[in-house]
């Protein structure tokens, strides 16, 4: 039975939590397959607003098994804090599953993330400072510490000792920081082991069995296509693979299992951190979008950079992810404009590009070529079907769909659970 993948089609913060929540009650498993607590999902249920960073959004649906799969990097302190926060609000988190193969974010990863960014100065990536990059770097260099290592105290100690051997040299000699203490880290992480044990499982085996049994598995990507380590605006990216291909490696599921890839697409564009962003608005219009859309980071509280919809980016996302359906979010934010610019291509040094330019240099210099669509002034947050949208809003959606190259199957008109128009079932 189907595995459905959900991916961010832009630079993250497209409203993936809302999309997952929409299908949350219709699937059996919701799986996070990459990233860590750099993510920020906001889910609004009734009067309650939940901000999740590490936990899958499915944790809020009682009949769903939430899974943190092998591709995720886990900061145990953050994990338990997030669980405690939900428990205090009456959310049962007892059926959470965590892969034994997931890597752990260690204190030296957080320290290195922060100091290396500081040293990069103007060239900084603008990371969330959560230790994500250094943890994935250690994973690839085969120097990482995994969840399962916590259950073997000797191995845990050995791995931390080995890591500190060179991390402390770097921290003290390159960055002029204090060395970190082996015993302190070892005791802290050993302390997490027993708390973590009830959740830990062979999640790849469980998910594959579930699929064999006809269950529906929802693979929830964090960040977005243009933050992908391979397909994003490198080096201004995160250190994992949010694209749909990453879902297979990050969850231990074969590509033949995936039947649908849902791209989450905001009706305009935002990004946080550094890096190219052709349609970015530096004027009052950008400030207006930020205010209207509440574009302030869930994780870091940073102002998001805001700009108009960029069609080549949406098309690119369709291509590299194999998107079968789009969920268009935050359409209501655009209400009140006389006309809405939509980027249909770029001019880079006098050359017209209809797709994202091949080189980062060209993308950095890309000046958007706009088409203008008529706007609408009605409040659309109460619309519950496509027909209830003003004609110009309908045309906006249909035009984006054509440009993006895949059907828009759902539309968000507000943050609430019920503020979604589902044109076709996403499950
Ligand atoms: P890192 O993931 O903390 O290493 O940050 C790398 C880049 O990804 C920075 O530009 C971050 O702002 C960006 N980033 C990481 N997580 C998110 C997210 O959930 N939404 C949007 N941007 C993110």
Report the CATH number that the domain containing residue 108 is assigned in CATH. 1.10.300.10
Structural domain includes residue 98: no
Structural domain includes residue 427: no
Catalytic residue, chosen from 13, 21, 28, 325, is: 13
How remote is the CA of residue 5 from the centroid of ligand 1, in Å? 20
Q: Which residues sit with their C-beta closer than 6 Å to ligand 1?
A: 11-13, 38-40, 125-128, 130, 132-133, 222-223, 227, 236, 238-239, 272-273
End-to-end CA distance of the chain: 11
Are 275 and 405 in the same domain?
yes
Confirm or deny that 41 is annotated as ligand binding: yes
**Cα–Cα distance between 274 and 8 in angstroms, integer?**
18
Give the atom of ligand 1 at the shortest distance from the alpha carbon of 129: 3
Catalytic residue, chosen from 103, 139, 159, 231, is: 139
Give the atom of ligand 1 at the shortest distance from the alpha carbon of 275: 10
Confirm or deny that 351 is annotated as ligand binding: no
Confirm or deny that 117 is annotated as ligand binding: no
How remote is the CA of residue 299 from the centroid of ligand 1, in Å? 9
Confirm or deny that 84 is annotated as ligand binding: no
Among 6, 38, 105, 133, say which to mutate for ligand 1: greatest number of ligand atoms within 8 Å of CB. Answer: 38
Are 155 and 229 in the same domain?
no
Are 270 and 396 in the same domain?
yes
Are 241 and 361 in the same domain?
yes
pLDDT tens for the chain, 427 residues: list them.
699 999 999 999 998 877 877 887 789 999 999 999 998 877 777 778 888 899 998 888 889 999 999 999 999 999 999 999 999 999 999 999 999 999 999 999 999 999 999 888 888 999 999 999 999 999 999 999 999 999 999 999 999 999 999 999 999 999 999 999 999 999 999 999 999 999 999 999 999 999 999 999 999 999 999 999 999 999 999 999 999 999 999 999 999 999 999 999 999 999 998 999 999 999 999 999 999 999 998 777 789 999 999 999 999 999 999 999 999 999 999 999 999 999 999 999 999 999 999 999 999 999 999 999 999 999 999 999 999 999 999 999 999 999 999 999 999 999 888 899 999 988 8
Structural domain includes residue 375: yes
Catalytic residue, chosen from 21, 28, 41, 167, is: 41
User: What's the pLDDT at 53?
Assistant: 92
Are 220 and 185 in the same domain?
no
CA-nearest residue for atom 11, ligand 1, is 127
Report the CATH number that the domain containing residue 279 is assigned in CATH. 3.90.170.10
Domain boundary among 198, 226, 260: 198
Number of domains in the chain: 2
Give the atom of ligand 1 at the shortest distance from the alpha carbon of 127: 5
How remote is the CA of residue 122 from the centroid of ligand 1, in Å? 17
How remote is the CA of residue 224 from the centroid of ligand 1, in Å? 9
Domain boundary among 198, 215, 233: 198
Are 287 and 164 in the same domain?
no
Are 257 and 358 in the same domain?
yes
How remote is the CA of residue 393 from the centroid of ligand 1, in Å? 31
| Contacts for 355-358: CB closer than 8 Å, 24+ residues apart | 355/312, 355/315, 355/316, 356/312, 356/313, 356/316
**Cα–Cα distance between 404 and 13 in angstroms, integer?**
18
Is the link from the previous residue into 166 a cis peptide, with omega within 30 of 0?
Answer: no
Tell me the β-bridge partners of 258. Answer: 3
User: What's the pLDDT at 300?
Assistant: 75
CA-nearest residue for atom 15, ligand 1, is 38
Are 284 and 375 in the same domain?
yes
Confirm or deny that 42 is annotated as ligand binding: yes
Domain boundary among 198, 218, 245: 198
**Cα–Cα distance between 43 and 49 in angstroms, integer?**
6
The reported pTM is 0.95
Structural domain includes residue 258: yes
Give the atom of ligand 1 at the shortest distance from the alpha carbon of 113: 4
Domain that holds residue 33: 3-91+202-422
Distance of CA 358 to the CA centre of its chain: 24
Nearest Cα neighbor of 369 from 357, 356, 392, 353 is 353
Residue 139 known to be catalytic: yes
Residue 266 known to be catalytic: no
Confirm or deny that 238 is annotated as ligand binding: yes
How remote is the CA of residue 239 from the centroid of ligand 1, in Å? 9
Are 242 and 213 in the same domain?
yes
User: What's the pLDDT at 1?
Assistant: 62
Structural domain includes residue 112: yes
Structural domain includes residue 96: no
Give the atom of ligand 1 at the shortest distance from the alpha carbon of 272: 12
Confirm or deny that 256 is annotated as ligand binding: no
Structural domain includes residue 358: yes
CA 312 → CA 8, 23, 117, distances in Å? 15, 28, 30
Are 41 and 117 in the same domain?
no
Structural domain includes residue 97: no
Among 273, 293, 303, say which to mutate for ligand 1: greatest number of ligand atoms within 8 Å of CB. Answer: 273
CB atoms within 10 A of CB 367: 13
Do the beta carbons of residue 48 and residue 86 sit within 8 Å? no
Are 380 and 334 in the same domain?
yes
Do the beta carbons of residue 295 and residue 304 sit within 8 Å? yes
How remote is the CA of residue 242 from the centroid of ligand 1, in Å? 11
Contacts of 43 (CB under 8 A, 6+ apart): 17, 18, 20, 21, 49, 50, 52, 57, 60
Are 161 and 285 in the same domain?
no
């Amino acid at each position: 039975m189907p595995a459905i993948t959900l991916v961010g089609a832009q630079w993250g913060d497209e409203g993936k939590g809302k999309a997952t929540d929409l299908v949350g009650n219709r699937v059996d498993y919701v799986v996070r397959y990459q990233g860590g607590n750099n993510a920020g999902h906001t889910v609004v249920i009734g009067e309650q607003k939940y901000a999740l960073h590490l936990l899958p959004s499915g944790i809020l649906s009682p009949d769903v098994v939430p899974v943190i799969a092998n591709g995720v990097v886990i900061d145990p302190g953050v994990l338990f804090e997030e669980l405690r926060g939900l428990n205090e609000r009456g959310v049962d988190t007892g059926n959470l599953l965590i892969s034994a193969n997931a890597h752990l974010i260690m204190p030296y990863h957080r320290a290195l993330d922060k100091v290396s960014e500081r040293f990069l100065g103007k060239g900084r990536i603008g990371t969330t400072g959560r230790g994500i990059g250094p943890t994935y770097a250690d994973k690839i260099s085969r120097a990482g510490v995994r969840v399962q290592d916590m259950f073997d105290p000797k191995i845990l100690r050995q791995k931390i000792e080995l890591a500190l051997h060179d991390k402390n040299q770097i921290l003290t000699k390159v960055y002029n920081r204090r060395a970190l203490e082996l015993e302190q880290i070892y005791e802290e992480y050993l302390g997490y082991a027993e708390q973590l044990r009830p959740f830990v499982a062979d999640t790849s085996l469980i998910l594959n069995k579930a699929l064999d049994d006809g269950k529906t598995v929802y693979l929830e990507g964090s960040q977005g296509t243009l933050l992908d380590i391979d397909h994003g605006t490198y080096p201004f990216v995160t250190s994992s693979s949010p694209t749909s291909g990453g879902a297979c490696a990050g969850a231990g599921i074969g590509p033949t299992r995936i039947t649908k890839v849902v791209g989450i697409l905001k009706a305009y564009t935002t990004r946080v951190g550094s890096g190219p962003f052709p349609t970015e608005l530096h004027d009052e219009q950008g400030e207006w979008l930020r205010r209207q859309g509440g574009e302030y980071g869930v994780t870091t509280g940073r102002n998001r950079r805001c700009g108009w919809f960029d069609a080549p980016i949406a098309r690119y996302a369709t291509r590299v992810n194999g998107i079968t359906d789009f969920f268009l979010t935050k359409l209501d934010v655009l209400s009140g404009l006389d006309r809405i610019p939509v980027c249909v291509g770029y001019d880079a040094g006098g050359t017209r590009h209809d797709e994202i330019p091949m080189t980062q240099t060209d993308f950095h210099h890309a000046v958007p070529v706009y088409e203008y669509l008529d706007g609408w002034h009605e409040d659309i947050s109460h619309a519950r079907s496509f027909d209830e949208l003003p004609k110009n809003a309908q045309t906006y959606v249909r035009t984006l769909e054509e440009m993006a190259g895949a059907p828009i199957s759902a539309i968000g008109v507000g943050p609430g659970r019920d503020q979604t128009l589902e044109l076709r079932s996403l499950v």
